[in-house]
Chain A
Amino acid sequence: EDQVTQSPEALRLQEGESSSLNCSYTVSGLRGLFWYRQDPGKGPEFLFTLYSAGEEKEKERLKATLTKKESFLHITAPKPEDSATYLCAVQTSGGYQKVTFGTGTKLQVIP
């Protein structure tokens, strides 16, 4: 069975304090790994897709990396507006649209 585990469940950072969120996965046939951001009362918003080990993607203060067993979302010098829940999802070869989500990391950035 495909499994996606995110850690930590919650993270509180001071503004400017860099850190990383982890997404570890156990799947058969990875097609892609996705990172989403979810704000309270809203649907998840797409951030990145990673397809193969060694791949990296960047957007503003966020950088996502991928290995064969896990992905990291690095947040450099975060700002309060980066506060949100970050979701990791893996798409596998188990059929069309077979996507397994992690339970997310709730990030709070304090001014």
Chain B
Amino acid sequence: EAQVTQNPRYLITVTGKKLTVTCSQNMNHEYMSWYRQDPGLGLRQIYYSMNVEVTDKGDVPEGYKVSRKEKRNFPLILESPSPNQTSLYFCASSVGPNSPLHFGNGTRLTVT
């Protein structure tokens, strides 16, 4: 089954404790991206990647890092999480830059 898989689904952590959210897709898609979803603000892009080793900032990149060492994986790294990063995070992939996005089922992060 074609899918985007995120882990974990739920994560509670404390301020400053580094964490990684993993994302993997099995559709051989070139493009991958990370979004956060907050009430009243909608989905906002954090980072995106056009191919292996090619990444760029989205609209809200501060406090986040990404890497794309393999085509299928695109982890999101929070080196020093803060409470304002409490949110619902989605990873997405697509065939091309103008193609529809395929989303994972989300990671709900709480930073206390």
Contact = CB atoms under 8 A, between A and B. Distances in A.
Nearest to B31: A97
Interface string A1-44: 00010000000000000000000000000011010100001111
B33 A97 contact: yes
B100 A34 contact: yes
Given A96-B97, A97-B31, A102 B42 contact: yes
Contacts, number: 56
A101 B42 contact: yes
Given A102-B42, A103-B40, A104-B42, A46 B104 contact: no
Contact of B48 (A45, A91, A96): A96
Contacts of B40: 103
Interface of B: 4, 31, 33, 35, 40-45, 48, 50, 56, 58, 90, 92, 94, 97-98, 100-106
26 contacts: A31-B98, A34-B101, A36-B101, A42-B106, A43-B92, A43-B106, A45-B103, A46-B101, A49-B100, A91-B98, A96-B31, A96-B48, A96-B50, A96-B97, A97-B48, A97-B94, A97-B97, A98-B45, A99-B101, A101-B35, A101-B42, A102-B42, A103-B40, A103-B41, A103-B42, A104-B42
